[in-house]
Amino acid sequence: MDGRQHGLFGCQSLAGVWCGENEQAIMIGLILRNSRDNLVKGLSTFERATFNLQIVEVFDISEALLWLKSCHLEHAIIDSDCVLVVHVLNRSVVDNSKFGFLILDCLMLGTSFQHLCFCWVHQSTNKATHSLSRLTRPMGMVDDKLWVYGVSMMAQV
């Protein structure tokens, strides 16, 4: 049974690496949906950085947790299309690597929630988040954030 039926908020997250001529950057898109699967708000950010894709995916989850915490939410489901990160977070596996330290950071942030669940979703179900994450670069919003509030048309993307 999907926890959203019990008043939990769902957060879809997406991370990606963008490569331009003279720069590399991380794109992050986050969509927050309520228990009725309606869009509450979204966040897109584009930050100059160079990491491997696994590190970027964990960084994305960490950003999602910080964002949800700043929204004062205590119950959340975080959807990600990165099966490795979801698997490691659900098993609480930590090693002595950059990846492991970021996982530990996510697990520590997760302790501030009363209920938190990490779920894998197929990439095709993350269409709204993909679209949102692509918005910041064309708008020239490097190292900045784009906030979207209650945009119901995003749910149709």
pLDDT per residue as tens, the chain (157 positions): 344 444 567 776 666 655 555 666 677 777 777 777 777 777 777 666 666 778 888 888 888 898 888 888 888 888 888 899 999 999 987 888 889 999 999 999 999 999 998 988 876 665 555 555 555 454 444 444 444 444 433 333 3
- The sheet carrying 9-19 orders its strands as 115-120, 75-80, 9-19, 24-33, 39-48, 144-149
- Looking at residue 146, its pLDDT comes to 45
Quote the pLDDT of residue 153.
Answer: 34
Residue 59 has phi, psi (to 5 degrees) of: -60, -40
Residue 90, pLDDT score:
94
Position 16 scores a pLDDT of: 62
Q: Provide the pLDDT for residue 88.
A: 94
Q: Which domains does the chain have, with CATH numbers?
A: 3-156 (3.30.420.10)
